[in-house]
Amino acid sequence: MLDELKKSLVECPVVKKGEYFYFVHPISDGVPLVEPELLDDVMDYIINHYNLNMVDKIVGVESMGIPLATALSMKTGIPFVIVRKREYGLPGEHKVHQKTGYSENELYINGLNKDDNVLLIDDVVSTGGTITSVIKALDQIGVNLVYTIVPIEKDDGRINAEHNTGHNIDTLVKIKMVDGKVTIVDD
């Protein structure tokens, strides 16, 4: 399990965004092509390793949380909502500032209520900036964050994000950049 994900990560191209080494992979970019088997591999892992019975809502982060949230929703029947980069101005909308290693954006959270049992999913945690901001906003809304699942962990941001939020963040594969290339970090 997850062998395909690991193999595809090691083989994927890396581009530079300023000084930041950015890997380009189907799960985290939708590029060059998303094979459904790879998405299935990730979904099967999640379904087999987590008890999703008590989850009311899946929350995915735009952009690349969208295919993950969609696939998981279709497999489980649990509805999903997307944290968007677009403001709607709906009542109760929460604005979140997102900072990654190469960009800054505003994110907007809708569709969640206090005490909802939530599974948060995003594609990558790298600096941990995005997941930290989103989790803090979810705490403010008062949801019960049951699981945070991020398939790809890059570098050391997950640990900082866990420390800064007090929530566990589960990742499936850990990678680091060595000489501008992706390498797998074994547990």
Ligand X SMILES: Nc1nc2[nH]cnc2c(=O)[nH]1
User: Site residues (CB under 6 A) for ligand PRP?
Assistant: 61-64, 100-101, 103, 105, 122-131, 157
Among 23, 80, 108, 147, binds ligand X (CB under 6 A): 23
- For tokens 């009311």, the residue is 56
Q: Is 30 exposed, middle or buried (0-12, 13-18, 19+ CB in 10 A)?
A: middle
Is 28 a residue that touches ligand X (CB under 6 A)? Answer: yes
Question: Beta strand 104-109 with 117-121: parallel, antiparallel or unpaired?
Answer: unpaired
Backbone φ and ψ for 173, nearest 5 degrees, come out as -135, 135
Distance of CA 63 to the CA centre of its chain: 10
Q: Which is nearer to ligand PRP, 17 or 115 (CB)?
A: 17
Nearest approach in angstroms of CB 29 to ligand X is 5
| Residue 154 binds ligand X, judged by CB under 6 A | yes
Q: What, of ligand X, ligand PRP, none, does residue 22 touch, CB below 5 to 8 Å by kind?
A: ligand X
Query: Given the rule CB under 6 A, which of 24-32, 81-89, 112-120, 165-173 is the region that contacts ligand X?
Result: 24-32
Stretch that binds ligand X, among 19-27, 34-42, 109-117, 136-144 (CB under 6 A): 19-27
User: Residue 23 binds which entry of ligand X, ligand PRP, none, with Cβ cut-offs from 5 to 8 Å by kind?
Assistant: ligand X
Query: Looking at beta carbons only, is 28 or 76 nearer to ligand PRP?
Result: 28
Beta partners for 109? 94
Which residues lie below 8 Å from residue 3, measured CB to CB, with a gap of 6+? none
Element at 121 (helix H, strand E)? strand 117-121
Selected range binding ligand X among 17-25, 43-51, 91-99, 138-146, rule: CB under 6 A: 17-25
For residues 135, 136, 141 and 142, what is the CA-based torsion angle, rounded to 10 degrees? 80
Nearer to ligand PRP, 126 or 148 (CB): 126
141 binds, among ligand X, ligand PRP, none (CB under 5 to 8 A by kind): none
Mark out the alpha helices in 50-122 (DSSP H runs): 65-76
